[in-house]
Chains A and B, each alone.
Chain A
Amino acid sequence: MSAHFPGLVIIIPLVAAFLILIGALLDRRLAFPLTALALLGSLLTAIGLLVKVLQTGVVEYHLAGWAPPVGIAYRVDHLNALVLVAVATVAFVNLMGTRELVKGLFDDRLGPFYTLYILLIAGLQGIVVTGDAFNLYVLLEIAALTGYALVGMSEGRAPLSSLNYIFIGTVGASLYLLGVGYLYLVTGTLNMADLAVRLPALYPSKVVVSAFVICLVGLCIKMGFFPMHAWLPNAYSHAPDPVSSLVAPLVTKVMIYVMIRMMLFVFTPAFAFDQMAISEPMVWLAIVAIVAGSFMALSTRRLKRMLTYIIVAEVGYMVGGFWLGNRLGISGAILHIVNDAIMTLCVFLSAAAIISKVGSDAIDDMQGLFKKMPVTMGVFVVAGLSIIGVPPTCGFFSKWYLISGAVAAGQYGFMAALLLSSLINLVLFFRIFEIAYFEPFHDHHGDHGHFVSAVQEAPFEMLVTLVVTAVLLFALGIYAGDIVSQIIDHAIPVGIT
């Protein structure tokens, strides 16, 4: 059975999606348990896959029994096994945590919601494991489509921002598709490994160069890298809370994973780092992204919006770390993909809990919350510390790698940007903690429909998941060394020092 893990990771949620819809047509209370079951299964499979990879190295899976390049093949190495587990974990935890919220928001359309939810996860996990450049595009689109729908399903400005998200996202995906087309044009294959074999002969060709640039631009758009970030804050901050706590941690990270995958394993490092020689400008862009993101975060007084700007900065972390082009930097970027996924999940979940209880996401409405919802705020503090980068939370260690990568590469500007953003994050979060800690709780009656004086702790399962994520943050921090030495070191090509 374990031979089929790579396929099952995707197939379980995919098949479940249709069963969920059918089940929900019978009785919509079936939707949640089915989803939970499927995601749990896929999570366990992902973990099994990681273990298998750790034991036996790279795992190949030929879909429809056709060997690549004729057929589509999955190729699971340490890199995507790790990211896969992260994605599956976030998906499952978030599902468990947001059950009540979802019931409250979409009670009449639970079936469609969970169908889209699980299709999104199937798409993202597929992106992570697939070894075929075009298959990746299809999965990209399935993840994107479901994402648009989930983001758009809210009152207020959500539909508008979701539509803009569609425009930008489609352009990004189309550019990626074009890039793949260019590669196909000169190589005649779509399989990543095969491309990596056939490309080096063609490096001089202008087609390959433009393919590289087009792909990179498309992916940068998709991941919300600085100049192309405009869609991200709107889409994520206006989305319904349970959705933004799912989309925010995953989508951008997976896109960054795709960039790393393309750069390292399709265009080889020799091409990406040495021949193209765009590392320097990319790192500088990342610096700008970090600084700009942090300052934009300072400028807003709305909780979710602030967090989305922090994401913009974090994307800068990872892209910059990757383009440092040395082992430390890339390890930092990969480690930060995992850590940031969990951090963002944790912080968005607690934000969702707070907003659902307070009824507004204005920072100034959070007075006295430490008294009212101590557990939630405690977790929020932990997440904040992790984003600031305080040991022993995991945020510190990925930042450690990124900075030491910057030192090794002599990119002191990048180091300075990282430190600056840590300081700004410190200000950002303690601004909130102060309001929640010092200002006496005063309830604004009628305001936002319900009596805020009724504010109390979030529902139980939400608290449990919050605590679990908080513990995860520490665990990832403590075991950062092992994760790097056991997994990430094998994920990076030996050529890179």
Chain B
Amino acid sequence: MESLLANFLAKYNYWVYIGLVMIGMYAMIAKRNLVKKIIGMNIVQTAVILFYVSIGAKKGKTIPIIAHGHEDTGHHAVQALDYISPLPHVLMLTAIVVSVATLGVALALAIKIYRQYGTLEEDEIAMRIEDQ
């Protein structure tokens, strides 16, 4: 039991990210308001970011910036174990940018839709389309 619990706690932020993905997807499907859907989309993307960053983490290690890097590093060799893994952070920098970009385009489209139908509620938009 304890081992199970320990095992569970050892991965808690993976559980968190799963929860976030589910929340975001729920919002994207169940909500009828376009902006809420967009927010849901962002939650999903953030969850992925959380997942990646968790991969890179190492308990009790420091950020991947070599101490005294600007001096000659020949004296003390760099130990990979002392620094958390940089790659996931790099990847997530990209992912963040992507999600920002997606958000921008999505908002632009939302504005266009609002211009056209005067609402962002899917049901009302559907009614407007019926009317035309």
Contact = CB atoms under 8 A, between A and B. Distances in A.
Interface of A: 134, 138, 141, 145, 148-149, 152, 155, 157, 159-160, 162-163, 166-167, 170-171, 174, 177-178, 181, 184-185, 190
A163 B48 CA distance: 21
A166 B109 CA distance: 10
Contacts of A134: 91, 94
B28 interface: yes
B22 interface: no
A181 B51 contact: yes
A178 B48 contact: yes
Interface string B22-50: 00010010000010010001001100100
A181 B55 contact: yes
B78 interface: no
A44 B41 CA distance: 39
A170 B55 contact: no
Given A159-B113, A160-B113, 20 more contacts: A141-B98, A141-B102, A145-B105, A149-B105, A152-B108, A152-B109, A157-B129, A163-B109, A166-B105, A166-B106, A167-B28, A167-B41, A171-B41, A177-B95, A178-B48, A181-B55, A184-B55, A184-B87, A184-B88, A190-B87
Interface in B77-132: 87-88, 91, 94-95, 98, 101-102, 105-106, 108-110, 112-113, 116, 125, 129
Given A167-B37, A171-B25, A159 B109 contact: yes
A170 B125 contact: no
B44 A171 contact: yes
A40 B87 CA distance: 37
A159 B34 CA distance: 12
10 contacts: A134-B91, A152-B105, A159-B116, A163-B110, A166-B41, A166-B102, A170-B41, A177-B48, A181-B51, A184-B88
Nearest to B106: A166
Given A145-B105, A166-B102, A174 B48 contact: yes
B45 to A, nearest CB: 6
B113 A138 contact: no
Nearest to A134: B91
A181 B25 CA distance: 19
B105 A170 contact: no
Contacts of A145: 101-102, 105
Contacts of B41: 166-167, 170-171
A138 B129 CA distance: 35
A441 to B, nearest CB: 28
Nearest to A177: B48
Contacts of B125: 160
A163 B110 CA distance: 7
A167 B31 CA distance: 13
A162 B106 CA distance: 9
Where chain B touches its partner, the secondary structure class is helix
Q: Which of B34, B37, B105, B125 has the most CB of A within 10 A?
A: B105
Contacts, number: 64
**Contact size range, B:** 20 to 34
A148 B48 contact: no
A134 B45 CA distance: 15
Nearest to B25: A171
Chain A interface mostly helix, strand, loop or mixed?
A: helix
Given A166-B105, A185-B55, A174 B91 contact: no
Interface of B: 25, 28, 34, 37, 41, 44-45, 48, 51-52, 55, 87-88, 91, 94-95, 98, 101-102, 105-106, 108-110, 112-113, 116, 125, 129
Nearest to A182: B51
A163 B98 contact: no
A152 B34 CA distance: 15
Nearest to B113: A159
A177 B116 CA distance: 34
B110 A174 contact: no
Contacts of A152: 105, 108-109, 112
B105 A181 contact: no
Contacts of B105: 145, 148-149, 152, 166
A174 B44 contact: yes
Residue with the greatest number of chain A CB neighbours at <10 A, chosen from B51, B87, B98: B98
A149 B25 CA distance: 23
A170 B45 contact: yes
Contacts of B110: 163
B44 A170 contact: yes
A431 to B, nearest CB: 27
Contacts of A141: 98, 101-102
A159 B112 contact: yes
A183 to B, nearest CB: 11
Contacts of B44: 170-171, 174
Contacts of B37: 167
Contacts of B108: 149, 152
A148 B101 CA distance: 11
Contact of B109 (A162, A178, A185): A162
Contacts of B55: 181, 184-185
B57 to A, nearest CB: 12
Given A134-B91, A167-B28, A181 B48 contact: yes
Contacts of A148: 105, 109
A141 B37 CA distance: 19
A178 B112 CA distance: 31
Contacts of B116: 155, 159
Given A167-B37, A178-B51, A138 B94 contact: yes
